[in-house]
A = this chain, B = another copy of it.
């Protein structure tokens, strides 16, 4: 989420002719690397990596999302993949930069079946980090820019079908007389972004969504909700938000954008459709997916099934004694209808992360008497500080002005290995703590328990590790600090008819209880839709294996089960925030396309399952 590697200010072009320039160092390394690869010599390639080094591959070499470490990791990966990948054509695509201590380069390369892009960092003459990503499949390039479709077929043709007639025919036939290759369950931003990629790759796809309209997954949430990530971080593939788009999209506005995007990208989007069951037919090599649409069951038989039902997984509602006897309203935060009905009432919100804060603030604004129950310490970052110090170098108007396009920002971010990402994050959050010291002091004085992550690495590491444990402050913290939102701490012992009782005996009168208690692992969706057996076979989704709270080890190296093959044949998980939905949808789409057209996709290093949920 930030790029703190220093870049030299001087124009490297003037050094071009020098005996030792960034360009020469990179050219020499790439040339030696390619010689080793072409010779099939995994050992020669491996020793070109520093003892402390990371090669992150997104699909290009491994048909997986995989980071290998050090010469041993590189050797093992190359020994398994070199022969069929046949990598070649490594070149720098713009002038490399840096000093002999740290040289950086943007690169391109090819494999037997595709074209790739990547990024290289050298320490001295050894690779420190290498990112390789598959960008397109040869023969299956997207029809864009120079390859745009013509739209009009010039000439005369007695069997001409218009664009509209073809669209209507597809709507009539796909899922009925013809089968989609992919079914995506869940039509939020994840499903939509992936659907757009697959449409461009000509992979017949149906997106199944419970709600009436694309965007409803945002529209139906509490009314004050705005995106917590800024616009530069949130673009969908193909169509950027316009320059007048607000920094933080209001939920209904992002809903409208998703709806129009779905339409103009020509996605087959089955709204008001409930996915009821899915079962993998091993013999046929396809899924049997039953959905209910317009009151009738339809059975789909896709070859691939993607669960894009939300990175947060299924709502986690704690089981508390007395819940069933509580006389007021009670619901999970995801079901919270907004504050309007609760003016003048007593609300208790259990939890202290993003949703808890947003809901408390909205209830207070509507005139409710609000108490937040903090059960464990929480990481708070002020939105301004996060924008400035955490995101500004990659995703901001400033970044755009300095040539860091969204795509480039995504690649820079992808190039930082998860293993060492926290090292880049810790100084950012130290700076934030210094900048906002007064703010944090006032929060603590009000009794709020703060943390900055177990290793002080802050918000984004918490997001990657556990997807929870923080609040991006857009105003609620001030209400906590000044006591407008009352604060209680500790665990909840029970509910009575009209109150919440904490373990220290505190009794909080309540007309409303909101359980802002988070979500379970995404494989819970698989349990519901497919079977517990398949959910267990796949195991926990999300997290890096960092051995911190809610992200148990061992170290996985990449997000568990996301955007890559799982232990269940033909089952995939897609999602995350808008940045991840945008960037990783490309790699998932390419994996699916390759399978559709029969390109061999031997997976290197298929993840093992260490945790069930």
Measuring CB to CB, which residues of chain A are less than 8 angstroms from any residue of chain B? 142-146, 148-152, 154-158, 160, 162-165, 167, 200, 223-224, 226-227, 231, 238-239, 242-250, 252-253, 256-257, 259-261, 263-265, 361, 364-367, 383-384, 397, 474-476, 478-479, 484
Contacts and interface: CB of A to CB of B under 8 A. Distances in A.
A226 B361 contact: no
Nearest to A160: B365
A318 to B, nearest CB: 28
A163 B250 contact: yes
B158 A365 contact: yes
B250 A152 contact: yes
B152 A243 contact: no
A393 to B, nearest CB: 17
B238 A243 contact: yes
A146 B238 contact: no
A250 B151 contact: yes
22 contacts: A144-B244, A148-B243, A148-B244, A148-B397, A149-B244, A149-B247, A151-B227, A151-B231, A151-B248, A152-B226, A156-B361, A156-B364, A156-B479, A156-B484, A158-B364, A158-B366, A164-B252, A165-B223, A242-B265, A256-B264, A257-B264, A260-B260
Given A239-B242, A244-B143, A474 B152 contact: yes
B250 A367 contact: no
A361 B479 CA distance: 69
Kindly list the 4 A-B residue pairs having the minimum CB-CB distance in the complex, ordered from nearest: A151-B246, A260-B260, A163-B250, A152-B226
B397 A146 contact: yes
A397 B484 CA distance: 58
A165 B257 CA distance: 17
A154 B473 CA distance: 8
A226 B151 contact: yes
A550 B152 CA distance: 31
Contacts of A478: 155-156
Given A154-B474, A243-B145, A364-B156, A256 B252 contact: no
B252 A260 contact: no
A335 to B, nearest CB: 19
A145 to B, nearest CB: 5
Given A156-B364, A224-B160, A264-B260, A144 B243 contact: yes
Contacts of A364: 156, 158
A365 B158 CA distance: 4
Instruction: Select the residue from A142, A155, A259 with max chain B CB neighbours within 10 A.
Output: A155
Contacts of A162: 223-224, 250, 252
Contacts of A238: 242-244
Given A148-B245, A243-B145, A154 B260 contact: no
Contacts of A160: 224, 365
A246 B149 contact: yes
A512 to B, nearest CB: 18
Contacts of A361: 156
Nearest to A153: B475
A589 to B, nearest CB: 13
Nearest to A250: B163
Contacts of A227: 151-152
B150 A248 contact: yes
A361 B154 CA distance: 11
A167 B223 CA distance: 13
Contact of A239 (B156, B239, B479): B239
A494 B579 CA distance: 67
A252 to B, nearest CB: 4
B157 A250 contact: no
A46 B447 CA distance: 74
B248 A152 contact: yes
A226 B256 CA distance: 27
Contacts of A263: 256, 259-260
A151 B243 contact: no
